[in-house]
């Protein structure tokens, strides 16, 4: 344990130490430390400040777009590009080995960034120079990797994942395009629904709550919706209703969100109707690919659709 602690601190020092004459930013020694942390993260995790390590790796890999040509076409790598590639690989290995650690740590850093952004002017801080701003593309790359390869972990931390995704995607793109165009991989989860008409995104959490993101106001409202994990969400075509379903609770609910006059004031979301649903067999619950879905067939009627084709209709 003592040796591991010392080794972990030594590796962390090599990664986090400021660039200087004795240890330049892009040296084989620093890259070796980055590679060792990535490959052995489950071993070193207890002895590292995970947030600092992830931010340092993102800092090294933030220039992936600029350095991509030499990496893509097999050209000789300059030291900076080599550090970028090594850090990017390490981030992937860390995320794959410990998805919850990566997701929760990044979500906390995004929350700190958002708080800092609100006070950036008074603090005379240029947030465009921060790591979380410069490394948005790299963060999205890792998140997309996790969505494809670690689906169950994503479902357990869906709200944290959405916090990270919305931090990274261009808000301007979501004004005219759907989330399924901007970042399609996240829309493969039934717990996520985007309404371009009202510019709201709803995300269901494992604790039964719904996170309602108001993109116009850059705010998020948490709704205590169910007593078990939210299994599916879907906005009506006109955006007036949100249907939520909890497989663990066997309950489907309709929600309506209203704003103050002329769109001013805080939005209020209330439950308008609740229905009991048919219990789902345990064998279906264990297979994320066979979870029920909610499909609207009109502005007031939603279909609770099972994987075997069974349907039940509910009116808002």
Q: What is the pLDDT of residues 204-247, one digit of tens each?
A: 999 999 999 999 888 899 999 999 999 999 999 999 999 999 99
Mean pLDDT by 10 residues, the chain (316 residues): 90 95 93 97 94 96 72 70 92 97 97 85 77 94 96 94 96 88 93 93 96 90 95 94 94 83 61 92 70 92 88 94
User: CATH 2.130.10.10 spans which residues of the chain?
Assistant: 184-258+267-316
* Residue (of 195, 41, 185) closest to 12 by Cα position: 41
* Residue (of 32, 92, 33, 37) closest to 61 by Cα position: 92
* Residue (of 95, 117, 221, 97) closest to 161 by Cα position: 95
* Residue (of 249, 230, 240) closest to 294 by Cα position: 230
Q: Say what the pLDDT of residue 74 is.
A: 61
Q: Say what the pLDDT of residue 72 is.
A: 59
Measured distance between the N- and C-terminal CA atoms of the chain, rounded to whole angstroms: 59
Q: What is the pLDDT of residues 256-284, one digit of tens each?
A: 976 554 444 456 789 999 999 988 877 66
- Give the CATH architecture of domain 184-258+267-316: 7 Propeller (2.130)
* C-beta atoms surrounding 74 within 10 Å: 7
Residues pairing with 252 in the sheet: 245, 275
* Residue (of 88, 107, 100, 111) closest to 45 by Cα position: 100
Flag whether the pTM goes above 0.85.
yes
């Amino acid at each position: 344990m003592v040796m591991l602690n010392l080794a972990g601190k030594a590796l962390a020092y090599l990664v986090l130490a400021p660039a200087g004459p004795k240890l330049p930013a892009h040296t084989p020694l620093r890259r070796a430390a980055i590679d060792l942390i990535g490959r052995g993260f489950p071993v070193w995790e207890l002895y590292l400040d995970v947030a600092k390590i992830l931010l340092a790796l993102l800092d090294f890999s933030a220039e992936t777009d600029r350095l991509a040509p030499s990496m893509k076409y097999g050209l000789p790598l300059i030291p900076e590009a080599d550090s970028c590639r090594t850090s990017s690989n390490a981030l992937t290995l860390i995320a794959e080995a410990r998805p919850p650690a990566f997701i929760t740590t990044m979500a906390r850093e995004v929350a700190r960034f958002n708080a800092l952004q609100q006070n950036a002017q008074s603090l005379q801080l240029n947030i465009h120079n921060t790591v979380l701003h410069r490394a948005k593309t790299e963060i999205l790359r890792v998140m997309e990797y996790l969505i494809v390869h670690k689906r169950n972990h994503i479902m357990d931390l869906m709200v944290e994942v959405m916090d990270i995704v919305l931090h990274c995607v261009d808000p301007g793109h979501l004004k005219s395009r759907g989330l399924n165009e901007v970042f399609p991989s996240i829309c493969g989860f039934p717990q996520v629904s985007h309404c371009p008409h009202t510019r709201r995104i709803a995300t269901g959490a494992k604790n039964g709550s719904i996170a309602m993101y108001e993109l116009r106001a850059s705010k998020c409202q948490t709704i205590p919706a169910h007593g078990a994990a939210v299994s599916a969400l879907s906005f009506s075509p006109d955006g007036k209703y949100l249907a939520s379903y909890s497989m663990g609770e066997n309950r489907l609910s309709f929600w309506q969100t209203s704003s103050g006059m002329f769109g001013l004031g805080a939005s209020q979301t209330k439950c308008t109707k609740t229905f009991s649903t048919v219990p789902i067999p345990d064998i279906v619950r264990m297979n994320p690919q066979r979870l029920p879905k909610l499909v609207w067939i009109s502005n007031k009627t939603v279909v609770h659709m099972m994987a075997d084709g069974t349907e039940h209709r509910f009116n808002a």
